[in-house]
Structure 1
């Protein structure tokens, strides 16, 4: 076993590792083309991307975020249930003491709802046509 000499500091592995992001489809939304494009774009930009797949429950997504030790959680919602599902997800993350995970929301999000989601704790909202570059810059 090798130990660092007394008084020396070990490098922070997380600061040199790529940021980890979990992309999730919550509820009965079966449209995943966009989230797959975002996943590939983030991967190509150097992120460590985990995709949960379709039809995930709030609990399953929160558990995956915890298990995967992610920095970010991106939720894609195209079925109009964002004002129900995102607050429930934020509440579950808080219940698990995962408030340090930044939550972003993508999909069909009316402008007035985007500000409400931010006020509830989401860090960003991205609608159709948002460039991968914009998302990468936001997450970096």
Structure 2
């Protein structure tokens, strides 16, 4: 069975004017508690800032927390930038208030699983760990 030779590295970000970061901080702490290295970018990031940080930090996954309703703008822009910067092997996941029909559309664009408020943190950490084991080179 494949195992990790290093911690999984995850960038957690809040994009746009959404100023509610409690959930993002809870997720970041849960990922750290599960043994991952977490880079939290803070509030009011642009998609460009997020993708540049992901490239600089050599992350395995990017987690976007979004409650503002801008998910159909933010996620496609980040996917586009990730492709331009050759980050196709990095997981883009996230959570927040995202209707199911939009989740399906985003998944079809290449976004990973999206999590609703109240999802157990263990489910999120297991998803990221399992994805990294299958898709990243450790």
CA RMSD for the aligned pairs?
1.1
TM-score between the two structures when normalised by the length of structure 2: 0.90
Note if 1:132 corresponds to 2:121: yes
- Output aligned runs, 1:7-86, within 5 Å: 15-86=4-75
In structure 1, the gaps of 5 or more residues are 1-13
Deviation of 1:106 after TM superposition, in Å, equals 0.6
Deviation of 1:137 after TM superposition, in Å, equals 1.2
What is the distance in 1 between the residues matched to 2:125 and 2:47? 25
In structure 2, the gaps of 5 or more residues are 130-138
Deviation of 1:123 after TM superposition, in Å, equals 1.1
Moved over 3 A (4+): none
What is the distance in 1 between the residues matched to 2:59 and 2:37? 9
What is the distance in 2 between the residues matched to 1:49 and 1:63? 16
Query: Across the two proteins, how many residue pairs are aligned to each other?
Result: 127
Which one scores higher on RCO, CA 8 angstroms, separation ≥ 6? Answer: 2
